[in-house]
Amino acid sequence: MTRKAAQKAKPKRRDPAPVTHASLAKYGKVILAAFAKLGIQREFDLVLHLPMRYDDETKLHRISEAPEGAPALVEGVVTDNAIKYRPKRQLVCTVEDESGVLVMRFLNFYGSQVKQLAPGTRVRLFGEIRQGFFGAEMVHPKYRVVNADTPVAQTLTPVYPTTAGLSQANLQRLAREALAASDLSDTLPAALLEELRLPGFRESVSFLHHPPPATAQGALQNRTHPAWRRVKFDELLAQQLSMRIHYDRRKTVSAPALPAQQKLTCALLEQLPFKLTRAQLKVADEIRRDLARPHPMQRLLQGDVGSGKTVVAALAALQALENGYQVAIMAPTEILGEQHYNKFTGWLSDLGIKVVWLSGNLKLKQKRAVLAEIASGEAQIAIGTHALFQDDVEFSRLGLAIVDEQHRFGVRQRLALRLKGAREGTTAQPHQLMMSATPIPRTLAMSYYADLDVSVIDEMPPGRTAIATRLVADTRRDEVIQRIRDACVAGSQAYWVCPLVEESEVLQLQTALDTHARLEATFPELKVGLVYGRLAAAEKQAVMQAFKNGQLQLLVATTVAITPVARPGGPRRGCQHLHPAFSATAIATRA
């Protein structure tokens, strides 16, 4: 992919599903479309659509006494309005009260506003007063037409997350209606509320939509107020209950029982040039027992890079094959998927196992051949990227789905792969094993993945060198550059990963291209390579092989491309990982 093509590439947008819930049937198409964008599917969702901040419109200031540079509420009579063209077209209105004069200026306005703000109209304005082109002014203030006896607000004014087609005024009105119409009775027993010192549900949501003016804004903005604690508790409780319901429901769903036959698995263990660690044997035994049950396994296999998750997954795959079922292995990037394909092929080819590779970049003829082998059952293990759960992929007997770097896939994507093994007319599903190198404390994993069983490989194979991680400020970049130069000149290697705060393969690629050019100029004495996700398969393989063989000293890559590469003959010497971010540089050094 060229630099120009990367700049032109745009991510696909998916329109939100239309809202069809009966409680929202009274609203028009424009509001329903806005609700869909906001994720509001029913009227009660408006109760839980809480403000992102608040305006204090409870104190009415005289114009001459209103504070400058801070939001303030003032009221006066329009004495003049005019459309002016200098410095550019704008609507300028003069508002007066008994204490002074204020200019209200709109850079964007409608013709109806000119009539609405005619001289003699009493208006109430909310905004920041600043000294501008016309003197003391408010630019684009929030305003409304009032009478002399119109009362001020008694509570803070909520400002909600919104979208085009749904004004704040409308959203505030709809939220009030939802609060009045919804059942806000408590779902938690009084004893539990007292024990946890939590306020009631009705009290909490009513408070958060309309807090009294004396409420500390900091507690609202930082979401530390007791009302926020109650909402947070309910959200976490609902998430836990939902996942446990899924966990219990899984016991009612059938899956092929895959008892250990100890044939292919033993054959693999005998030919491996290494022995499994105690941690690998422990988690392999947990997976083996799960696969033998007639209910779908949903297990997360967690372990650091190099801990040996792949060989454990291979043993699980062979257990499914021993029982006459197929296995699908899905990876988030082509490079990682190709590495799995090469590794599984090397391990299993002597055992007579047919392993195929499926990705979106295959030529049409190749893809059709692979799809036919998967559909017929000739392909016993199918390894691929997102292409594995596309509509044209049909398995003969899918018994186990393995998802590597599972956090890189959405819930629906993992579900789509699982449904590939569902047989028509039954509730049967394949077993699913998910793998992740992201370190997650066991207590957090048990909470966040409450619908999964968790296995952890907490021991590294013998001979693996320790990994030390260092965070270095961007101001010390010169030191990092010098350290990389010293290490590479001494015979070690390094790779420089270009991540972004927000996911964007296009921007990430542009960053990698720029970084590669800059590092080539910085290190003229070193061979610097570049690899990224959309590079042609042959080019990626050539670059990675050159790095593996030591022909490249420094490798620049995007996060969608880079995966650990082992040097022939054992662990890599002094490999340094450099992660330049926006404000800091992180280095992980293998000693």
Q: How far apart are CA 420 and CA 391, in angstroms?
A: 9
Q: How far apart are CA 117 and CA 90, in angstroms?
A: 14
CATH number of the domain enclosing 433: 3.40.50.300
Shared-domain flag, residues 209 and 68: no
Average pLDDT over residues 216-237: 93
Shared-domain flag, residues 30 and 172: yes
Final residue of a structural domain among 152, 177, 211: 152
Residue 477, domain member (yes or no)? yes
Residue predicted with more confidence, 267 or 468? 267
pLDDT band at 378 (very low <50, low <70, confident <90, very high): very high
Residue 13, domain member (yes or no)? no
pLDDT digits (tens, 9 = 90+) for 491-500: 888 888 876 5
Residue 243, domain member (yes or no)? no
Residue 1, domain member (yes or no)? no
Average pLDDT over residues 559-566: 49
Q: How many CB atoms lie within 10 A of CB 70?
A: 10
Alpha helices in 349-399 (DSSP H): 364-376
pLDDT digits (tens, 9 = 90+) for 278-311: 999 999 999 999 999 999 898 989 888 888 899 9
Average pLDDT over residues 521-548: 84
Shared-domain flag, residues 125 and 170: no
pLDDT of residue 265: 92
pLDDT band at 450 (very low <50, low <70, confident <90, very high): low
Average pLDDT over residues 59-69: 93
Q: Sign of the C-alpha dihedral, residues 83, 88, 89, 90?
A: negative
Residue 232, domain member (yes or no)? no
pLDDT of residue 10: 44
Average pLDDT over residues 118-124: 96
Q: Please tell me the pTM assigned to this model.
A: 0.64
pLDDT of residue 506: 52
Q: Sign of the C-alpha dihedral, residues 387, 390, 394, 397?
A: positive
Mean pLDDT across the chain, nearest whole number? 83
Q: Count CA within 13 A, CB hemisphere, residue 526.
A: 31
Shared-domain flag, residues 453 and 518: no
214-243: buried (b, 16+ CB within 10 Å) or exposed (e) per residue?
ebeeeebeeeebebbbbbebbeeeeeeeeb
- The angle, 0 to 180 degrees and rounded to 10, between the axes of the packed helices 201-209 and 168-181 is 160
Shared-domain flag, residues 471 and 570: yes
Decide: helix, strand or coil at residue 28.
coil
Residue 192's domain spans which residues? 22-52+160-226
Residue predicted with more confidence, 404 or 224? 224
pLDDT band at 444 (very low <50, low <70, confident <90, very high): low
* Candidate ranges 149-153, 476-480, 542-546; pick with highest mean pLDDT: 149-153
Indicate whether 137 pLDDT > 70.
yes
Average pLDDT over residues 39-63: 94
Shared-domain flag, residues 473 and 534: yes
Indicate whether 563 pLDDT > 50.
no
Final residue of a structural domain among 226, 255, 279: 226
Shared-domain flag, residues 386 and 437: yes
- The angle, 0 to 180 degrees and rounded to 10, between the axes of the packed helices 226-250 and 201-209 is 120
Residue predicted with more confidence, 308 or 17? 308
Total domains present in the chain = 4
Counting residues of the chain whose pLDDT is more than 90, the rounded percentage is 46
Shared-domain flag, residues 474 and 556: yes
Shared-domain flag, residues 359 and 490: no
pLDDT digits (tens, 9 = 90+) for 174-219: 999 999 999 999 999 999 999 999 999 999 999 999 999 999 989 9
* Poorest-pLDDT segment among 12-21, 158-167, 210-219, 578-587: 578-587
Indicate whether 124 pLDDT > 70.
yes
Q: What share of the chain is helix, strand, coil (3-state, %, to 5)?
A: 40, 20, 40
Q: How far apart are CA 5 and CA 324, in angstroms?
A: 45
Q: Is the peptide bond before 87 cis (omega within 30 degrees of 0)?
A: yes
Q: Which of 562, 346, 313 has the alpha carbon at shortest distance from 433?
A: 313
Q: How far apart are CA 512 and CA 579, in angstroms?
A: 11
Residues forming beta bridges with residue 135, ordered by sequence position: 132
pLDDT digits (tens, 9 = 90+) for 398-440: 999 998 876 566 556 666 666 666 655 556 789 999 888 876 6
Alpha helices in 222-300 (DSSP H): 226-250, 264-271, 278-291
Residue predicted with more confidence, 34 or 387? 34
Residue 248, domain member (yes or no)? no
Shared-domain flag, residues 166 and 136: no
Residue 556, domain member (yes or no)? yes
Ramachandran class of 575: left when φ > 0, alpha when ψ lies in -120 to 50, beta otherwise: beta
Q: Count CA within 13 A, CB hemisphere, residue 265.
A: 23
Final residue of a structural domain among 97, 132, 152: 152
Shared-domain flag, residues 311 and 412: yes
Shared-domain flag, residues 287 and 431: yes
CATH number of the domain enclosing 93: 2.40.50.140
Residue 6, domain member (yes or no)? no
pLDDT of residue 442: 58
